[in-house]
Amino acid sequence: MSASAKEPRWERRKQDRPQELLAAALELFVERGYAATRLEDVAARAGVSKGTLYLYFDGKESLFKSVVRTNMLPLLDQAEARIEGHAGSSGELLRELIMHWWQAASHSGVMGIAKLMVAESGNFPELARFYHDEITARGDATVVRVLERGMARGEFRHIDAQAMKKVIIAPLIMLMLWERSLAPCAADPIDPQAYLQSMIDLCLNGLNT
Amino acid sequence: MSASAKEPRWERRKQDRPQELLAAALELFVERGYAATRLEDVAARAGVSKGTLYLYFDGKESLFKSVVRTNMLPLLDQAEARIEGHAGSSGELLRELIMHWWQAASHSGVMGIAKLMVAESGNFPELARFYHDEITARGDATVVRVLERGMARGEFRHIDAQAMKKVIIAPLIMLMLWERSLAPCAADPIDPQAYLQSMIDLCLNGLNT
Amino acid sequence: MSASAKEPRWERRKQDRPQELLAAALELFVERGYAATRLEDVAARAGVSKGTLYLYFDGKESLFKSVVRTNMLPLLDQAEARIEGHAGSSGELLRELIMHWWQAASHSGVMGIAKLMVAESGNFPELARFYHDEITARGDATVVRVLERGMARGEFRHIDAQAMKKVIIAPLIMLMLWERSLAPCAADPIDPQAYLQSMIDLCLNGLNT
Amino acid sequence: MSASAKEPRWERRKQDRPQELLAAALELFVERGYAATRLEDVAARAGVSKGTLYLYFDGKESLFKSVVRTNMLPLLDQAEARIEGHAGSSGELLRELIMHWWQAASHSGVMGIAKLMVAESGNFPELARFYHDEITARGDATVVRVLERGMARGEFRHIDAQAMKKVIIAPLIMLMLWERSLAPCAADPIDPQAYLQSMIDLCLNGLNT
DNA sequence: TATGAATGAGGCTTCATTCAT
DNA sequence: CATGAATGAAGCCTCATTCAT
């Protein structure tokens, strides 16, 4: 397994290839969109040749799917772990989830994935379904749990949690989209911190009893 | 965008061509994305031949830009007109704007445009700038005006209107994206009316003094 | 250079395209084999560009199938028509079928097709089945009819017609293969006329009572 | 890498490598044709890696030629030895040659080679020449010797031996082609024994005085 | 104005071949 | 000797664009 003894530089690079390719692919898919991304460019950015890519992925679509899966699942795990271990008020829990989520998202490829999924899910029904089942549904459920926790503890007003979860998630997704897709062209870029503060402020004032 | 005043009636069909092409292009761009949309299919859906398209548009990119411009401007006009003539409370104004905006958006190509802009603005910097300057900035300003109106009249708490405008707009845009792009694959589709009710409920509770 | 005439040239040529492409494809498939034939070369030999080929055929495999069908079916029709109308002895019928078949085959693409089918049927099970059902089976049946006719009239010895049909057909197919595939490299080329005379001689002497 | 010992089994395997590769290559070339055969699959079937193949053969073409040479020459030697030592009638000699040839061919790669040569000789002029000079010419000469022997002894009618040799060889080659290439798709497979009986029957009846 | 046949650049993918280990 | 990761040339196919009619 871990051949720590002798590391023949070659073996080591081999193991890194998939991740290097995934990283390069993420950048380019986000930058240019699925169709406009050329596999040759992905390979070049990963420092390998075109053919090498096919040693690790079946093709463009397979690469795309791997990019999505690799980047999204860890974040969900984190969020769910955090909600498990929380003891304080539900408002505080919501704030924490939002802020930590943003912390993680802004340091990973997650923001780009969000844009990709919006842009391409029409072209990949299979991937869209996977994304909904594994990512969206889990994220939604997390928010619903917080809302129901708050209502059960008398901290939140009584609301329609199923509808509200989407309202609450929407600004988070849009923040990612703006950062990745629209911000570069905006004269007045969004300040994520102020944005998130306002969002949390609105939510807590709007939800608390 | 409105019908020309006096045009020879026998050239009506000729006059309709561009709009028929724009309508067909909108459908297909939204359905398949920019790159995957073939001009031959656009022409076929408009009932003309491929070559005819080039009599009215310079090419694919030009067609795309025209689609965006044609579909977005009227909605902004409506919203601004409505805000001018409002006399009641600011909360009611916000509710009205949201509901009427959705009414108009769900009966036009606006929802599709939103998806297109998110997906493709990276590939069309010039169009992204136009979109920001002419659409996004005007929409943002409209919301800011409502928020400032509410604060000035003592109806809303004091908040950071510049940051909050984005938080409020986000759920509206996301609703469009979900409807256009992600909903078809979701097991639990969003009910727009419940969604908007929850959103207005959250905003008014979160903003009102 | 030679296209100085004022012929409409365009309308006219359109109708000829498929046949020109089929003719070019036949030559190249026979010359180089299926895999080694590049569609660009086919198009070039037909005097069109690569893309034009796709206006008339779905792809390489589709083109290949069309080549086979176009070239083989007419010959079968001819042979069956001839057997219908024959009145003389069965030996004479056999001789006639062989000689006329060769006459037709040597002036068409049939010889090349024979080589193609031998070479490629392993790679195209579907095409091989089609070829067996539509071509081979019909050809076999034709020979069987002649043999049974001869036996019924007391002209031929009693033989196993099912096995003998293949023995009789074999030299005809081999003649085609030699001409198309092996002859160019042979120091002592086959004289088809002498070959056919010997074959008929052998068959009649071997079959007649 | 420190395997300096003398491991019998290993030495053995080393010596067998070329033949294992040739056997694997024969199977795959026959199965899929030259172009569609991937060297990686050849190596895998021989139980070695792709690179190892290049230790024994210069490349794909070299491998192909070796396959042909290795499989064809022994059979010719057998046939010629048999004709030398025959003492009986020429008809019996012909029968014996045919039956023994089939016996040997059906238990070796010879049948596949026949298909390969028909299919690929156009692509390998040099190999086609070798095949004609070393294989075809020797086989032809063998048959001619039998025919002339029969005529000289008054057992056979007077015929054009040069033309007839090809007529007699044709059904044998076709039997190989059918078995290797066309049979798998045929609804009514050929029974080789009945086929050969009919062929010998036709020849002897057609040739004998 | 309208047509649609024709073009050809460009992308994805395959695989024979090389070479560092 | 053996390996298998890496390469890159080459082929199939698509489709935006042109242009003769």
Using a CB-CB distance cutoff of 8 angstroms, which residues of chain D are in contact with residue C163? Answer: 190-191, 194-195, 197-198
Amino acid (one-letter) located at A24: A
Averaged pLDDT for residues D35-56:
94
Give me chain B's average pLDDT, please: 87
Assess D126–C contact: CB distance below 8 Å, yes or no. no
Assess A73–B contact: CB distance below 8 Å, yes or no. no
Q: So what's the pLDDT on residue B66?
A: 93
Q: Is the CB of C54 under 7 A from strand F?
A: yes
Using a CB-CB distance cutoff of 8 angstroms, which residues of chain C are in contact with residue D136? Answer: 182, 186
User: By CA distance, what is B123's nearest residue in A?
Assistant: A32
Give me chain C's average pLDDT, please: 88
For chain A, give the percent of residues with pLDDT over 90. 62
Alpha helices (runs of H) in chain C, residue ranges in sequence order: 10-32, 39-45, 50-56, 60-84, 90-105, 110-120, 125-131, 137-152, 161-177, 192-207
For chain E, which bases have at least one atom within 7 A of a protein Cβ? 1-21
Alpha-carbon distance D204 to D140, whole Å?
18
pLDDT digits (tens, 9 = 90+) for A7-53: 444 444 667 889 999 999 999 998 888 989 999 999 999 999 999 99
Q: Least CB-CB distance to C186: which of D122, D132, D162? A: D132
For chain A, give the percent of residues with pLDDT over 70. 90
- Name residue A156's beta-bridge partners: A208
Q: So what's the pLDDT on residue A11?
A: 47
Q: How far is the CA of D34 from the C1' of E17 (A)?
A: 17
Assess D142–C contact: CB distance below 8 Å, yes or no. no
CB contact under 8 A, A123 and B36: yes
What are A34's two structure tokens?
């699925």
pLDDT digits (tens, 9 = 90+) for B90-148: 999 999 999 999 998 988 888 989 988 888 888 888 888 888 888 899 999 999 999 99
pLDDT digits (tens, 9 = 90+) for C5-63: 334 444 446 678 899 999 999 999 988 889 899 999 999 999 999 999 999 999 999 99
Assess C134–D contact: CB distance below 8 Å, yes or no. no
Assess D38–C contact: CB distance below 8 Å, yes or no. no
- For residue D17, name the pLDDT band (cuts at 50, 70, 90): confident
Chain B: closest CA distance from residue A205 (Å): 5
E10 C1' closest Cα residue: A38
Q: Least CB-CB distance to B33: which of A122, A129, A164? A: A122
CB contact under 8 A, A185 and B125: yes
Q: Which nucleotide lies at the shortest CA–C1' distance from B14? A: E1
- For residue A6, name the pLDDT band (cuts at 50, 70, 90): very low
Q: Least CB-CB distance to D206: which of C186, C197, C202? A: C202
pLDDT digits (tens, 9 = 90+) for A51-80: 999 999 999 999 999 999 999 988 888 888
Q: So what's the pLDDT on residue D75?
A: 82
Assess C114–D contact: CB distance below 8 Å, yes or no. no
Three-state DSSP class for A190?
coil
Alpha helices (runs of H) in B46-191, residue ranges in sequence order: 50-56, 60-84, 90-105, 110-120, 125-130, 137-152, 161-177
Using a CB-CB distance cutoff of 8 angstroms, which residues of chain A are in contact with residue B134? Answer: none
Q: Is the dihedral of CA D7, D8, D13, D14 positive or negative?
A: positive
Q: So what's the pLDDT on residue B109?
A: 85
Based on DSSP, count helices (H) and strands (E) in chain D, helices before strands: 10, 0
F6 C1' closest Cα residue: A52
Alpha-carbon distance C184 to D124, whole Å?
12
- Name residue C156's beta-bridge partners: C208
Using a CB-CB distance cutoff of 8 angstroms, which residues of chain C are in contact with residue D162? Answer: 194
Q: So what's the pLDDT on residue D184?
A: 61
F5 C1' closest Cα residue: A14
E13 C1' closest Cα residue: A59
Q: How far is the CA of A74 from the C1' of E21 (A)?
A: 36
Q: Which nucleotide lies at the shortest CA–C1' distance from B63? A: F16
CB contact under 8 A, C171 and D171: yes
Chain B: closest CA distance from residue A55 (Å): 27
What is residue D134's DSSP assignment? I
Q: Which nucleotide lies at the shortest CA–C1' distance from B38? A: F15
Q: So what's the pLDDT on residue C3?
A: 39
Averaged pLDDT for residues D110-132:
85
Q: Are D97 and D187 in contact (CB under 8 A)?
A: no
Strand F, CB < 7 A, residues 34-93 of D: 48-52, 54-55
Give me chain A's average pLDDT, please: 88
CB contact under 8 A, A118 and B32: no
| B2 CB burial (10 A radius; 0-12, 13-18, 19+) | exposed
For testing contact with chain D, the best of C111, C121, C160, C208 (most D CBs within 10 A): C121
Alpha-carbon distance C13 to C20, whole Å?
9
pLDDT digits (tens, 9 = 90+) for B146-187: 999 999 999 999 999 999 999 999 999 999 998 877 666 666
CB contact under 8 A, D167 and C35: no
Q: Is the CB of B191 under 7 A from strand F?
A: no
DSSP class per residue in A91-154:
HHHHHHHHHHHHHHHTTSSHHHHHHHHHHHTTT-HHHHHHHIIIIIHHHHHHHHHHHHHHHHTT
For chain B, give the percent of residues with pLDDT over 70. 90
F19 C1' closest Cα residue: B51
CB contact under 8 A, A198 and B159: yes
Q: How far is the CA of D51 from the C1' of F4 (A)?
A: 8
CB contact under 8 A, A119 and B115: yes
F20 C1' closest Cα residue: C10
Q: So what's the pLDDT on residue D128?
A: 85
Using a CB-CB distance cutoff of 8 angstroms, which residues of chain A are in contact with residue B144? Answer: none
Q: So what's the pLDDT on residue B182?
A: 64
Averaged pLDDT for residues C174-185:
79
Alpha-carbon distance C3 to C5, whole Å?
6
- For residue D122, name the pLDDT band (cuts at 50, 70, 90): confident
